[in-house]
Amino acid sequence: MRNKDVSFWLFLSPVLAALGLVVLIPLIVGVFYSFTDWNGLGFSQFIGLDHYARLLGDERFLSSLWFTIQFAFVTVIVLNVMGLGLALLVTQKLKSSNLLRTIFFMPNLIGGLILGFIWQFIFISVFGDLSGILGIEGLNGWLTTSTTGFWGLVILTSWQLAGYIMIIYIAYLQSIPEELLEAAKVDGANPFQRFRSVTFPLVAPAFTVSMFLTLSTAFKIYDQNLSLTNGGPFNSTEMVAMNIVYTAFSSNEMAYGQAKAVIFFLFVAVIAVTQVYYNKKKEVDM
């Protein structure tokens, strides 16, 4: 098919129309609107960088951004450690390997909204009960402070996504030739040394994939935030995505919400591009 063939464009037209009308044009127009006083229906004037200037002094937005960065940082580490750990466990040729794989992966199939509601029950009712039984005061009053809300979100997200990251690591672990591990064993390497010097470097590409995935997922989380803490107490666990939704659709400040969304987009894009670049470079070096 050549560029001037009608069939080339016919085959492409449905997705081009959809991508253009759903993603590209709204993004471009959105960036434009963020410099105006657009209210969702129309705009009367350009206000330059006013929204962006306001955003720098918007404490609620800045604290949601900081909360999101901390959350993403902790979640990426926890998820990758757990994902790799689970992957190593289920690839040990255990009798229960397949069953365990099925179990660990299961929460992935259920939406963050529903899982968040289940965990809200666990953190509030079950933790409260356990605190009485076990005599651990720290299990009381979960989700009523910003710290317990933070760790509640980390636990929920890690439990939900660890199985997914596990699947990625399994794919790489299974591509390691047995002979390599056998050779290392013959040479007298202990299990830790075999992991450190053979397995680990060979699963390194999996870090590219899964760190990129977990970082951008953690950064964009909304459903879990809404259903587990709804940003509370006093908006202290509100993440950026939720702050943008709130600004645009609850306070009806469309253009201001859009300005926040542009900043959010830049964050996500920079993270993604850096991550891919950095990891690709590292892989080549090894």
Partner 1 sequence: MADKQKRSFPVLETAGILLGILWLSPFYLMIVNAFKTNREIFQNVLGLPSEATFQNFIQAYIDLNFLRALFNSTMITAISILVIILFSSMAAYALARNKSRLSGAILLVFVAAMLIPFQAVMITLTSFFGSVNMLNSAGLIFMYLGFGSSLAIFLYHGALKSIPLSLDEAAKIDGASRFQTFWYIIFPLLRPISVTVAILNVIWIWNDFLLPSLVLSTSEATIPLRMFAFFGEYTRQWHLALAGLTIAIIPVIIFYFFAQKQIIKGVSEGAVK
CB atoms within 10 A of CB 8: 12
DSSP string over 177-190: -HHHHHHHHHTT--
In the set 59, 92, 135, 234, which binds partner 1 (CB under 8 A)?
Answer: 92
The tokens of 21 are what?
């009308």
In the set 59, 109, 177, 202, which binds partner 1 (CB under 8 A)?
Answer: 109
Name the segment binding partner 1 (CB under 8 A); options: 51-59, 61-69, 72-80, 215-223: 215-223
Spatial separation of the C-alpha atoms in residues 171 and 102, rounded to whole Å: 15
CB of 3 to partner 1, least distance (A): 5
User: Taking a C-beta distance cutoff of 8 angstroms, is the pair 164, 218 a contact?
Assistant: no
CB of 220 to partner 1, least distance (A): 5
Residues 154-193 that bind partner 1 (CB under 8 A): 159, 164, 167-168, 170-172, 178, 182
CB atoms within 10 A of CB 191: 11
* 103 is a site residue for partner 1 (CB under 8 A): yes
CB of 80 to partner 1, least distance (A): 13
CB atoms within 10 A of CB 85: 14
In the set 69, 202, 204, 272, which binds partner 1 (CB under 8 A)?
Answer: 272
Spatial separation of the C-alpha atoms in residues 116 and 153, rounded to whole Å: 8
C-alpha angle 68-71-76 in degrees, rounded to nearest 5: 120
CB of 199 to partner 1, least distance (A): 16
DSSP state of 174: T
* 69 is a site residue for partner 1 (CB under 8 A): no
Name the segment binding partner 1 (CB under 8 A); options: 10-18, 71-79, 146-154, 277-285: 10-18
Q: Give 46 or 265: the residue with its C-beta nearer to partner 1.
A: 265
In the numeric block, the tokens 């990251």 are attached to 165
* 35 is a site residue for partner 1 (CB under 8 A): no
The tokens of 247 are what?
């600004």
Q: Give 111 or 201: the residue with its C-beta nearer to partner 1.
A: 111
In the set 24, 81, 136, 183, which binds partner 1 (CB under 8 A)?
Answer: 24
DSSP state of 176: S
> What character string, x for contact with partner 1 (CB under 8 A) and - otherwise, covers 110-149?
xxxxxx-xxx-xx--xx--xx-------------------
The tokens of 196 are what?
């450190």
> DSSP E strands: which ranges in 122-206?
none
CB of 266 to partner 1, least distance (A): 9
Within 8 A by CB and 6+ apart from 222, the residues are 112, 239, 241, 242, 245
Q: Give 42 or 57: the residue with its C-beta nearer to partner 1.
A: 42
In the set 104, 142, 207, 246, which binds partner 1 (CB under 8 A)?
Answer: 104
